[in-house]
Structure 1
Amino acid sequence: MTDVSTLSAIEKTTAGVYVAKETPGKDFPDVGIIIEGVVILQDLDNVALATAIYPAQLRYTFEVIQKVVMELDPTELSRKAQNLKTKLQ
């Protein structure tokens, strides 16, 4: 993850989970967490693990991924997730 565009994207990210599919010297993707433009965790096994250890203040993140992005049971959304879904549409 040393590409200039990648580093620029990381610096602009407030909080997020990333997946780097092509990591030099590795045969598997790199999954990690970015907070305030800094990679705080990397080399995690999968996105589900990265989401599970995300900070508590971002507890709605997994719900949004699951119910809004993946559209799994979108009828039972929390108020905050429903507000985000409305803004995205």
Structure 2
Amino acid sequence: IRTHSMGIFVINKEGEEAGHYDDIGIFVEGVVILDNIRSIARACEMMLGVIYALNLAYPKELRYFYEYIQKVLFRMDGEKLSPKVLGLKNKIASVQ
């Protein structure tokens, strides 16, 4: 948590079954702002909301991940894709 500006954390006790997590949450600048989120998918959704609501920039290491979700999946400002996201969109479209 201290080495990243924001992100999603997952806590799983040693020996627990796969897919069962003790806690899933979101942190910003080392502070947990949301916890007890029930799924990783829900945490990703809420992370987008946090970024939008607080007018934050996407984390550098996840920029293209969030840009893909925003512009391709949610179709928000989708005509202005970065070259990396456009390439990913084309690769995914060619597989289907």
Structure ranking higher in strand proportion: 1
Which has the greater radius of gyration?
A: 2
Pairwise TM-score range, normalised by the shorter structure? 0.3 to 0.5
Q: Could you tell me the TM-score, scaled by structure 1's length?
A: 0.47
Q: Could you tell me the TM-score, scaled by structure 2's length?
A: 0.44
